[in-house]
C-alpha cells in the first residue's frame, strides 16, 4: 500500500482525502505542520509527499526528502511558485492539480467584488447592530464598467464569462492569448482603461510586483483591484500608498505576499502582527480572505481525486499524470 506524508493538513482536506484514499488503496499520514526543511524528515516511512501552497519546498527540504528516499512531491494545488525547481531538477518528480474548479476561484473573486462595491461587509455588521443608516454605503453599477483581466487561462476565462453576464466591457492582458472572444491589450493599456482589474496569472520571477508604484500611477482614479492569484503579484507598499492617496478605490485580496505564516491559521491571539497586513485590514475599502477562493466541496473533491490519481500513475509506472516539466532554470 502506498504511504503518503500529507503536510499542512486541515479538517476540510481530511474529509475528501479520506473518502478517496480507500478507493486508491493508499494510506495517508496527516501532519498539521507545514513541509519545511525542518519537518521534511517526518516523511521518512512514506513513499510520497503531499504539499500545499505555503509549504517551503526549498533546496534543503528537497535534499532531506531525497535523503529519506522520497522521489515524488504531489502538490494538491495548481500553483508551484513555492518549489525551488532548480534544486528539484533531476531529484524529484513533481505533480500538481492544474484544474479542479476554475468556477470556485472565479466566483469567489466576483463575490469579493460585489461585497466590496456594495459594502455588504459593512451592511452585515451595521444591521446586526440595529443600524439601518445608508450613509457611506454607495456603490457603483457594474453594468457598463470596464474590467481588465490579467491572465486568461481557466480561471480568468470563467471570470470573463461572469463579467459578460453583468454587461461589463472586458479587456484582457495575457502574453499567450487563448480566447478569441476577448479583446487583448497590452498591460499598460489595461491599467489605463480598467475600472476593475482582476489578477488571474501565475506568479513568476518576471511578474513579481506586476502591480507596483509605476503601474498603479497609470491606473484610473478609484480603480478596484482584485487578487485571487498570488500575493506577490502586488507590491503591498505600493498598494497601501495607492489606497491611502485614493488612487485605488477598493482592493479585494484573497492572497497576500507575506501570507505564508498567517493564512489558514487562527492568529487571533497574536499581538506581533504583520504591519502591512494590519494596515490593509484596518481600511474600510479593503477586504481580505484567507486564500479561500478554492474552497468549495466540488473543488476539494476534485483536488483529492486528482492528487491521488497523479500519485497512483507514478507508482503504477504509467505515464505520470500532471507532472510539472521544466527546463533547468538558470
Q: How many residues belong to the site for ligand NAI (CB under 6 A)?
A: 30
In terms of Cα–Cα distance, which of 246, 253, 206 is closest to 230? Answer: 253
DSSP, residue by residue, 180-249: TTSEE--HHHHHHH-SEEEE-S---TTTTTSBSHHHHHHSPTTEEEEE-S-GGGB-HHHHHHHHHHTSEE
Closest approach, Cβ 97 to ligand NAI, in A, equals 9
155 near ligand NAI, judged by CB under 6 A: yes
Q: Is 96 a binder of ligand NAI (CB under 6 A)?
A: no
Among the listed residues 107, 257, 259, 305, the single catalytic one is: 259
Contacts of 217 (CB under 8 A, 6+ apart): 247
How far apart (Å, rounded) are the C-alpha atoms in residues 179 and 99?
17
Find how far residue 151's CA is from the centre of its chain.
13
- Residue 148 binding ligand NAI, by CB under 6 A: no
* 230 given a catalytic annotation: yes
CB-CB contact of 94 with 88 (8 Å)? yes
Closest CB to ligand NAI among residues 46, 210: 210
Interface with ligand NAI in residues 208-237 (CB under 6 A): 228-230
Nearer to ligand NAI, 5 or 190 (CB): 190
Cell output for 148: 481588465
Which of 47, 174, 257, 305 binds ligand NAI (CB under 6 A)? It is: 174
Q: Is 108 a catalytic residue?
A: no
Q: Give the per-residue contact string, 76-95, with ligand NAI (x = CB under 6 A; - = no).
A: --xx----------------
Contact at 8 Å (CB) between 119 and 140? no
Measured CA to CA, the distance from residue 151 to residue 56 in angstroms comes to 25
Burial 104-141 (b: 16+ CB within 10 A, else e): bbbbbbbbbbebbbebbeeeeebeeeeeeeeeeeeeee
Least distance (Å) between residue 129 CB and ligand NAI: 31
Instruction: Choose which of 175, 222, 246, 284 interacts with ligand NAI (CB under 6 A).
Output: 175
Answer yes or no whether residue 297 interacts with ligand NAI by CB under 6 A.
no
259 belongs to the catalytic site: yes
Single residue of 42, 68, 85, 99 touching ligand NAI by CB under 6 A: 99
Residue 117 vs 227, nearer CB to ligand NAI: 227
57 forms part of the interface with ligand NAI (CB under 6 A)? no
Cell, residue 70 = 522520497
Residue 97 CB-half CA count within 13 A: 25
Catalytic annotation, residues: 230, 259, 291
Positions touching ligand NAI (CB under 6 A) are 78-79, 99, 102, 105, 150-156, 173-176, 178, 200-203, 207, 228-230, 254-255, 291, 293-294
Amino acid at each position: 500500500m502506498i504511504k503518503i506524508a500529507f503536510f499542512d493538513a486541515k479538517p476540510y482536506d481530511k474529509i475528501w482525502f479520506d473518502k478517496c484514499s480507500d478507493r486508491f488503496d493508499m494510506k495517508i499520514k496527516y501532519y498539521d505542520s507545514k513541509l519545511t526543511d525542518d519537518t521534511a524528515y517526518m516523511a521518512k516511512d512514506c513513499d510520497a509527499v503531499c504539499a500545499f501552497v505555503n509549504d517551503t519546498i526549498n533546496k534543503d527540504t528537497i535534499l532531506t526528502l531525497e535523503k529519506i528516499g522520497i522521489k515524488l512531491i504531489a502538490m494538491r494545488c495548481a500553483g508551484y511558485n513555492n518549489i525551488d525547481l532548480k534544486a528539484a531538477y533531476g531529484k524529484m518528480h513533481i505533480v500538481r492539480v492544474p484544474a479542479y474548479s476554475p468556477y470556485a476561484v472565479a466566483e469567489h473573486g466576483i463575490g469579493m467584488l460585489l461585497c466590496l462595491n456594495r459594502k455588504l461587509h459593512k451592511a452585515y455588521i451595521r444591521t446586526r447592530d440595529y443600524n439601518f443608516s445608508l450613509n457611506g454605503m454607495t456603490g457603483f453599477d457594474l453594468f457598463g464598467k470596464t474590467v481588465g483581466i490579467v491572465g486568461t487561462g481557466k480561471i480568468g476565462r470563467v471570470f470573463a464569462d461572469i463579467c459578460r453576464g453583468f454587461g461589463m466591457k472586458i479587456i484582457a492582458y495575457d502574453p499567450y492569448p487563448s480566447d478569441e472572444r476577448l479583446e487583448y491589450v497590452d498591460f499598460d493599456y489595461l491599467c489605463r482603461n480598467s475600472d476593475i482589474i482582476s489578477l488571474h496569472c501565475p506568479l513568476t520571477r518576471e511578474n513579481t510586483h506586476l502591480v507596483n508604484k509605476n503601474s498603479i500611477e497609470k491606473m484610473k482614479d478609484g480603480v478596484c483591484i482584485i487578487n485571487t492569484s498570488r500575493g506577490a503579484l502586488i507590491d503591498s507598499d505600493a498598494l497601501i500608498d495607492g489606497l491611502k492617496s485614493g488612487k485605488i478605490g477598493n482592493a479585494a485580496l484573497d492572497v497576500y505576499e507575506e501570507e505564508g505564516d498567517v493564512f489558514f491559521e487562527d492568529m487571533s491571539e497574536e499581538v506581533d502582527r504583520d504591519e502591512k497586513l494590519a494596515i490593509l485590514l484596518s481600511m474600510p475599502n479593503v477586504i481580505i480572505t484567507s486564500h479561500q477562493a478554492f474552497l468549495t466541496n466540488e473543488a476539494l473533491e476534485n483536488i483529492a481525486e486528482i492528487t491521488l490519481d497523479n500519485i497512483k500513475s507514478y507508482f503504477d509506472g504509467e505515464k505520470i499524470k500532471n507532472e510539472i516539466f521544466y527546463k533547468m532554470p538558470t
